[in-house]
Structure 1
């Protein structure tokens, strides 16, 4: 799955190509709002607006159209082999899954040459500062009207890199590109297993809880199946999927977002409460629940496809304090 605008509904894909940020188009755009510092020490700053504060963002559907006279009729294979997200003529379309929705919002792609000289805006994505380019007043008005607060849409600035935490990534010599990401929380890719999701579902059912939890609650890029047991992915430090190689950077720390209903855009309690009861498994994150693993790809230009074979090539124990820390072998904490 890819999520072109962070926190909006996913686009399901049968294949996707890896670029320097992760899967092409994934978290390339972000909605942001302005907030004053809590201590009143300075002017308002642009900060991430996500389903954490606006669960109704789950009702914003997304579509991608590549250049050419066929409009949206491009196949996943053609998109994966295409010229990339900043190609002339392509577009992102947002629409609302609500009664009496407004006309869809169409956001044309712009080339690197068009975006590079434009003024950038620094946006706070949790503890990171990321450079984006404003997508204009029409996009801001469409999103602000739906969310009920003033927001603007930004696309990732193409020439100002967003580096990854050095605690969770080996040295750059392991990669064919400078490892980075766009507007993702911290890493280019998130992987989890169907067996882990099924484990959560079965535990909720055993409690008599009617909450319908699916993979969509956890917003992964890659869902694998065929694991011998739930949460086997916790052990993966390196793996191959088809022709692509990945580093397991860390376990994914979960907030309240998995308890948002992806079909209704309403917030809830589960599965967050359940995860806190049995998924506080990371010694470096004792007071936080974990679900899935964050990953970094070693090469760009590789296409990952549904049904590609998955081969873990190194297993071990993740630790929230960081197991790589620019080393050539993962650190093992006593």
Structure 2
């Protein structure tokens, strides 16, 4: 049958729960509506993340009217529906201590809602009109408020291998793919981590190119349903076979990719790999780039 798309997920608000869909438009900065919004610290406007606030995983954002509104829900707070401000009051925001320029503040009502939901003074911002941010790596591409790239691509074969190794330890349950927060999940190959070797592929109507191997932080320890830390897996087992010398021994799972031709992607679409390369996992020869891609 060949390689196909098994899952598609976009994340309207960086760090919050993903939305699985049957089809999505892939544009230059990723799937439609992906990481257009970001929660920031109300004091210094630095981005908030599950790295420090795992409860963000339990915050659901439903995109309404093709992006004109948001319906928000989270445990122990009343749901909130708000219109989206595409422009207006702006604040300078940072990610990983890097300046991201100005973003559009979404107002006091939603700021108060997030502050209550997360137990930390927060505000919600959206990418400003004309936002143009480069990724990095072999094919840099563009990105909204994702860590550094338009798409995160994983495969069922990679997860199956990881869970088989977890099972061998006998003291932990299998982990779901949601722990890794991918945009596109591929299936149809029995080779674990075959996605590491894909350099260019057509996915439905879109064309996607490899940027860099995906280095993981501590977010895979977070249960993406409850918003609670549920470690030590999968990090403990990944550490036994997916350490990357080129990235100071950090762990990898999946790859980051750029969209080089816009188009619609559907679950079940055939994937045609038009260029293969060598896996860089475990080598001392990283692709061009810099920094953390967690």
TM category, shorter: 0.7 to 0.9
Write the distance in 2 (CA, Å) between the matches of 1:108 and 1:19. Answer: 23
CA contact (8 A) 2:144 2:150 kept: yes
Write the distance in 2 (CA, Å) between the matches of 1:121 and 1:317. Answer: 42
Q: Which residue of structure 2 aligns with residue 266 of structure 1? A: 228
CA contact (8 A) 1:242 1:308 kept: yes
CA contact (8 A) 1:237 1:318 kept: no
Q: CA deviation at 1:321?
A: 6.4
> How many pairs are equivalent?
276
Unaligned 5+ runs, structure 1: 35-43, 67-83, 171-178, 326-334
Tell me how large the CA RMSD over aligned residues is.
1.9
Q: What CA deviation, in whole Å up to 9, does each residue of 1:167-211 have, x standing for no partner?
A: 4326xxxxxxxx421100000100100111111111111101323
Match of 2:241 among 272, 278, 290: 278
Q: Establish whether residue 297 from structure 1 lines up as the match of residue 259 from structure 2.
A: yes
Q: Which residue of structure 1 aligns with residue 108 of structure 2? A: 137
Q: Secondary structure at the match of 2:239?
A: helix
Write the distance in 2 (CA, Å) between the matches of 1:212 and 1:95. Answer: 28
Q: Establish whether residue 211 from structure 1 lines up as the match of residue 173 from structure 2.
A: yes
Q: What CA deviation, in whole Å up to 9, does each residue of 1:19-60 have, x standing for no partner?
A: 2321111001011115xxxxxxxxx63211011001111111
Write the distance in 2 (CA, Å) between the matches of 1:108 and 1:210. Answer: 43
CA contact (8 A) 1:250 1:318 kept: no
Match of 1:225 among 178, 187, 200: 187
Match of 1:106 among 81, 84, 89: 81
Match of 2:145 among 169, 180, 183: 183
CA contact (8 A) 2:56 2:227 kept: yes
Q: Which residue of structure 2 aligns with residue 79 of structure 1? A: none
Q: CA deviation at 1:284?
A: 2.1
Q: Secondary structure at the match of 2:55?
A: helix
- Higher normalized strand content (fraction of residues): 2
Unaligned 5+ runs, structure 2: 1-8, 290-294
CA contact (8 A) 2:85 2:106 kept: no
Match of 1:17 among 12, 22, 25: 25
Q: Which residue of structure 2 aligns with residue 201 of structure 1? A: 163
Q: Which residue of structure 2 aligns with residue 29 of structure 1? A: 37
CA contact (8 A) 1:3 1:10 kept: yes
Q: Which residue of structure 1 aligns with residue 287 of structure 2? A: 323
Write the distance in 2 (CA, Å) between the matches of 1:119 and 1:106. Answer: 20
Write the distance in 2 (CA, Å) between the matches of 1:133 and 1:105. Answer: 19
Structure number with the bigger relative contact order (C-alpha 8 A, sep ≥ 6) is: 2
Write the distance in 1 (CA, Å) between the matches of 2:269 and 2:205. Answer: 8
Q: Establish whether residue 245 from structure 1 lines up as the match of residue 207 from structure 2.
A: yes
Q: 1:262 to 1:237 in 2, by over 3 A?
A: same
Write the distance in 2 (CA, Å) between the matches of 1:321 and 1:3. Answer: 31
- Whose Rg is larger? 1
